[in-house]
Amino acid sequence: MADILVYALHYDGAINKNSLGAVSEGAKLASELGGEAHAILLGENVPHELAATLGKYGAKKVLVAQGPDGLAQPLVDAMAKAITDGGYSYALFGGGLLGFEIGAGLAARLGAGVAMEVTNVRAEGGELIAERPILGDSAISEIKYRSAVGIIIGRLNAFELGDASGADAPVEQLSFELSPHASQATMLTRGEQRGADVDIEGADILVAGGRGLGKAEGFQLAEDLAAAFGSTAAVAATRAVVDAGWYPYAAQIGQTGKTVAPKLYLAAGISGAIQHKVGMQGSENIVAVNKDANAPIFEFADLGIVGDLNKILPKLTAAIRARKGG
Ligand SMILES: Cc1cc2nc3c(=O)[nH]c(=O)nc-3n(C[C@H](O)[C@H](O)[C@H](O)COP(=O)(O)OP(=O)(O)OC[C@H]3O[C@@H](n4cnc5c(N)ncnc54)[C@H](O)[C@@H]3O)c2cc1C
């Protein structure tokens, strides 16, 4: 029997979607191990109802710790205490930078093994095995834990949301002490750096722009096309362009960005690097516009248009507007 402690990130009165996926996954795995999944939240006066709602996703108990929200070190203190007192065998995190930081800190504190960027976890012989893509996602490594506690940090969107049909969970307060260094950092403000309104994971149609758009202003072409498609469409981007400051990080697709699977993924001026491909290869239909007929993206596009996007995108936008009668 092994219990799993799942970290739930919350912000602005809502639990992060990746964390909810992790709670669902933790509950499924714990039942296969004959144990329970519990969740933990940290914050200043976390509302009881918010914590209890994690029961709907399968948490049998929710621990709430009082402390500074959104910082890794206080969470390392809180989770280390919870794990030591509660005898948890595994700590599970959905994707996200904060999870990476807490997981790494916990691994050091508890002498625990840690697997990051995990895309699948399975229960076998009473223990968990984490699967993690390696070598540019061309192979999968399987990780077993020799340590008393195993730390599993998922890749963004790796864990699917359960059906949320459970009952509210009992909520317990967890008291813990902050290490002296954990109170050295203070949260000044929280929020998405830019582009908080970009929801590329929920969109049915994505118009993704790459360096071929030439400059930040070039994204207007992608935005016009997405607007022509309507409310189910959004604009996404490659890492090259978000690093260049042309578009918000929230829109980045790929290995270090988001994983998407829209009905239509239209790539404009994107070469199709493996690190980008891993974030969008599950798309139902892939259309690529690129002026280089040898661009790697054409190797996995369903439809390829070779040409200058500055000419092709406005024509596509006009054609879609005309078809929609606008
Ligand atoms: C550890 C690591 C992690 C990474 N993670 C990610 C990630 O998460 N996501 C990601 O996207 N990348 C990631 N990258 C970067 C990745 O390797 C590529 O560098 C990046 O995806 C390239 O972006 P791009 O296609 O916009 O630019 P480029 O590779 O420069 O491609 C631009 C394309 O535009 C075409 N083009 C130029 N002008 C026009 C025009 N007028 N009309 C039509 N086509 C035109 C060119 O032919 C070219 O194919 C990562 C890299 C590393 C090392």
- Which residue, judged by its Cα, is nearest atom 20 of ligand 1? 240
Q: Does 241 sit in the ligand 1 pocket, CB within 6 Å?
A: yes
Q: How many CB atoms lie within 10 A of CB 310?
A: 15
- Which residue, judged by its Cα, is nearest atom 29 of ligand 1? 271
The position carrying tokens 């690190």 is 275
Ligand 1 pocket test, candidate residues 138, 241, 271, most atoms within 8 A of CB: 271
Instruction: Tell me which residues of the chain have a pLDDT lower than 50.
Output: 194-196
pLDDT at 201: 84
pLDDT at 301: 98
Q: How far apart are the CA of 94 and the centre of ligand 1, in A?
A: 27
- Amino acid letter for position 287: V
Percentage of the chain lying above the pLDDT 70 cut: 97
Q: How many CB atoms lie within 10 A of CB 318?
A: 13
Q: Does 209 sit in the ligand 1 pocket, CB within 6 Å?
A: no
- Rounded Cα gap, residues 280 and 178, in angstroms: 41
pLDDT tens digits along 132-144: 988 766 789 999 9
pLDDT at 194: 43
Instruction: Give the global pTM.
Output: 0.66
